[in-house]
Amino acid sequence: MNIELNTHSKNIINWAKAHPEAVVLSADLGSSCEIKEFKNIFPERYFSLGIAEQNMVSWAAGLAKEGFRPFLHTFGVFLYRRVLDQLEMSVAYPNLPVTFVGFLPGIMTPGGVSHQAINDVATLRAVPNMTIFDIGDATEIEGVLGLAHEVNGPVFIRMLRKEVPRLFPADKPMEFNRARILSSGTDIALFSSSICTEEAMRATAALKRKGISIQHLHISTIRPFSDPAVVEALEKVKYGAVTIENHLTTGGLGTAVAEVIAEHGLGTRLTKLGIQDTYAHGASKMHLLRKYGLDALTLARTIEAQVGKTCGIEEPDLEELRAEDYTAV
Amino acid sequence: MSIYETNEVRVAAKNIRKTILGLAINRGGAYLGQACSCADILAALYLRVLNFGPSLGAPQAMPFPGAPSPANMDYQKGAAYHGAPDKDRDRLFVSPAHYASVVYCALAEAGRISHEAIEKFNVDGWNMEMIGAEHSPGFECTAGSLGQTVSIAAGTAHGRRLKGESGRVFVFLSDGELQSGQAWEAFQAASFYRLENLIAYVDVNGLQVEGYTKDVMDISPLEKRLEAFGWKALVIDGHNEAEIVRAAETLHPGQPMIVLCHTSSACGVPLLEKRMPFLHFVGIGSEEIEVFKKFHADM
């Protein structure tokens, strides 16, 4: 498994070469959001709006009305929490093609509570006309701009930066509103997103060795959420479903799966892993993954408990499957 | 009467006030104070200042076309009443959406919508809402949340300059919303990008919901504050047609321009004087209705 570096930076430059209508708006965090090189190559298409996100969002609406495709770059928290009214009234209501490229989803920052976007999916799932993409690997970074372009409306991307693993083949790009089936099984339906998918892949590999079979779906389109593969997965398993997300367990992927279960009358037992009704704090990714139960070991033990079978999986069983060095801050 | 004054604008402004007073009488209330304060400004802008092509909007009111969505993007936009968005034509963004009745009436006075359409004002199911959105005649964006429209107008001016278009972007503001942080974010960015194609007219009526603006949250001195933010700032009498028209002709190279129009929310309807400063929404009860009806009949 390869670790890719600064994939978004390279990708958006290539994208912009073919799409002259694409412009970047930045709120003073461009160098932290892999858009510094874009500024060097396309200085006339890079607009600094300063630490003033509310104006930036409505300004982008004006540009979009004139036929431009604005890509807003800053940390995710500042692109929904600080600007929700602007996002809704200036952009989402008129269904304008503005793309919010939100970095540092969930616990992907030691920057603490002010910088951790832990309820962005919950908030934006309740915004009509929005599309939400939750990036899981480098291949998805390479594919997401094309999908956002096709959506032709407001899009929020939970973007990953710097060192990002390539979990999925480069020639198998992400598809709109389509889950990626990573393993097939009949014991547990497992739904994962963002950085939790790598954790989930490690857990499913270890559990498979112990005889537990898992239908594992990676979810990168979280709004809309209507892929029939989700229902098919829920219908084929004996011991219910587990979700794991880099987000609160309220309103995000777990809730979306719960809604599917209820709306289809499936009655599936569901365990939701993620941040449990609390704000987080600043620390390393590995520390936060473990503290809030977003890691492979917590997932493996949750699945063991739900199946009713203790396999004795321990950290070393999972460590050998790790792709990224999460101990690096 | 100078070349800057016309009977046309004076009549239009009076008709706007009269129509909205009539709505207030017939419907039990209206944003009448705003009509009184800005009727001259909007009449002069629509009739004398704005370079609009012929209206592309339907002369009659229409049923609400539904909220925009991926499946509903081709509905008639409020901007259609401002003509085709040609390169050399102006745009007008109205920020205080509760001024909608004044915009509809100004469109009617300018021949851009029928007078009969005003009968559908605030009638359930129609596109002439009391506070509308970008499907409502004359609205180029969804503006009800104050403070956002100046940013949208500035982004539009920025985009038009990038495309090399010569048309201007006007934005009509109310003074109370200049208390919001976003408006000042927009002012700083518009001067940073030297948007000389952006012109704001502000209805400085000095009132807001809870009373006089100077008592709720003072924003004076507006002219000095805006000059400090890099704008060309003018102060005019917002009931003087000549000053309203001349202001738009003022040169402001390399700068956006703001025209602070001092107005009275009782202008043209002196019966409202005694209600100062509470004129945000004028309700007319049974004890006063005959007085207002008589005044309306004599207008």
Task: Give the model confidence (pLDDT) of B29-74 as tens digits.
Answer: 999 999 999 999 999 999 999 999 999 999 999 999 999 999 999 9
pLDDT band at A326 (very low <50, low <70, confident <90, very high): very low
**Residue A180 near residue A230, CB atoms below 8 Å:** no
Q: How far apart are the first and last CA of chain B?
A: 22
Contact A66 B163 (CB under 8 A): yes
Contact assessment for residue B19 and residue B251, using Cβ atoms and an 8 Å cutoff: no
pLDDT above 50 for A252: yes
Residue A9 has pLDDT above 50, yes or no: yes
Residues contacting B57, CB < 8 A, separation 6+: B76, B78, B80, B81, B112, B113, B137
Q: How far apart are CA B68 and CA B246, in angstroms?
A: 38
Among positive and negative, which fits the CA dihedral B268, B272, B277, B282? negative
Average pLDDT over residues A301-305: 97
A52 and B185 within 8 Å at the Cβ level: the answer is: yes
- pLDDT above 70 (res A321): no
Nearest 5°: the CA angle A226, A229, A233 is 120
Which pLDDT score, from 0 to 100, does residue B121 have? 96
The answer to whether the beta carbons of residues A281 and A112 sit under 8 Å apart is: yes
Among chain B residues, CA nearest to A129: B69
Tokens of B121: 């004002």
CB proximity B149 to A under 8 Å: yes
Confidence at residue A324, expressed as pLDDT on a 0 to 100 scale: 55
Q: Does B66 contact chain A (CB < 8 Å)? A: no
Measure A55 CA to nearest chain B CA, in Å: 6
Cα-Cα-Cα-Cα torsion A259, A260, A264, A268, nearest 10 degrees, comes to: -90
Residue A245 sits at φ, ψ, to 5 deg, of -145, 150
Amino acid in position A165: P
Residue A289 pLDDT > 60? yes
B148:A86 CB<8 A: yes
- The reply to whether B145 touches chain A by the CB within 8 Å rule is yes
Q: Are strands B211-212 and B207-208 parallel, antiparallel or unpaired?
A: antiparallel
Say if residue A257's pLDDT is above 60: yes
Determine contact: A52 vs chain B, CB below 8 A: yes
DSSP letter string, B75-99: SPPGGGGG----TTS-EEEE--GGG
Asked if B145's CB is within 8 angstroms of A93's CB, the reply is no
CA nearest to A294, candidates A107, A160, A102:
A107
Q: How does residue A323 score in pLDDT terms, banded at 50, 70 and 90?
A: low
Instruction: Mutation target for A interface from B180, B185, B197: give the one with most A CBs within 10 A.
Output: B185
**pLDDT score of A329 more than 50:** no
What 3-state DSSP class applies to B207?
Answer: strand
B5 vs A192, which has greater pLDDT? Answer: A192
Rounded percentage of chain A residues whose pLDDT exceeds 70: 97
For the segment A124-129, the average pLDDT, to the nearest whole number, is 98
For the stretch A154-169, pLDDT in tens is 999 999 999 999 999 9
What span, in angstroms and rounded, lies between the C-alpha atoms of A112 and A288?
10
Specify the pTM: 0.96
Please indicate whether, in this complex, the C-beta atoms of A58 and B158 are within 8 angstroms of each other: no
**Does B22 reach chain A within 8 Å, measured CB to CB?**
no
Best residue in A44, A51, A55 to probe B by mutation, most B CBs within 10 Å? A55
Rounded mean pLDDT, A256-268: 98
Contacts of A176 in chain B (CB under 8 A): none
- Residue B132: its pLDDT value, please? 87
Please tell me if residue B134 touches chain A, with a CB cutoff of 8 Å: yes
Residue A49 Cα, gap to closest chain B Cα (Å): 7
Chain B: closest CA distance from residue A85 (Å): 8
Instruction: Please list the residues that pair with B92 across neighbouring strands.
Output: B170
Do A50 and B189 make contact, defined as CB atoms within 8 angstroms? yes
Best of B86, B152, B185 to disrupt the A interface by mutation (most A CBs within 10 Å)?
B152
Give the minimum alpha-carbon distance from B178 to chain A in angstroms, rounded to a whole number. 14
| pLDDT recorded at residue B4 | 62
Asked if A24 and A71 count as a contact pair (C-beta separation under 8 A), the reply is yes
Q: Is A60 exposed, middle or buried (0-12, 13-18, 19+ CB in 10 A)?
A: buried
Contact A129 B141 (CB under 8 A): no
Q: By the CB < 8 Å criterion, does B189 face chain A? A: yes
Answer whether the bond into residue A105 is a cis peptide, omega within 30°: no
Judge: B142–A89 Cβ closer than 8 Å, yes or no.
Answer: yes
Residues on chain B touching A65 (C-beta within 8 angstroms):
141, 152, 155-156, 159
**B206 has which bridge partners?**
none
The whole-angstrom separation of Cα B170 and Cα B198 is 6
Query: Would you say residue A327 has pLDDT above 50?
Result: no
Predicted complex ipTM:
0.96
Nearest by CB to B133, from A57, A93, A129: name it: A93
At residue B6, the pLDDT reads 79
Cβ separation B70–A129 shorter than 8 A: yes
**Chain A residues lying within 8 Å of B134, measured CB to CB:** 93-94
As a three-state string, the secondary structure of chain A is CEEEECHHHHHHHHHHHHCCCEEEEECCCHHHCCCHHHHHHCHHHEEECCCCHHHHHHHHHHHHHCCCEEEEEEECHHHHCCCHHHHHHHHHCCCCCCEEEEECECCCCCCCHHHCECCHHHHHHCCCCCEEEECCCHHHHHHHHHHHHHHCCCEEEEECCCEEEECCCCCCCCCCCCCEEEECCCCEEEEECCCHHHHHHHHHHHHHHCCCCEEEEECCEEECCCCHHHHHHHHHCCCCEEEEEEEECCCCHHHHHHHHHHHCCCCCCEEEEEECCCCCCCCCHHHHHHHCCCCHHHHHHHHHHHHCCCCCCCHHHHHCCCCCCCCCC
Cα maximum dimension of chain B: 58
Residue by residue, pLDDT tens for chain B (299 residues) are 555 667 999 999 999 999 999 999 999 899 999 999 999 999 999 999 999 999 999 999 999 999 999 999 999 999 999 999 999 999 999 999 999 999 999 999 999 999 999 999 999 999 999 998 999 999 999 999 999 999 999 999 999 999 999 999 999 999 999 999 999 999 999 999 999 999 999 999 999 999 999 999 999 999 999 999 999 999 999 999 999 999 999 999 999 999 999 999 999 999 999 999 999 999 999 999 999 999 999 99
What digits encode the pLDDT tens for the residues A109-125? Answer: 989 999 999 999 999 99
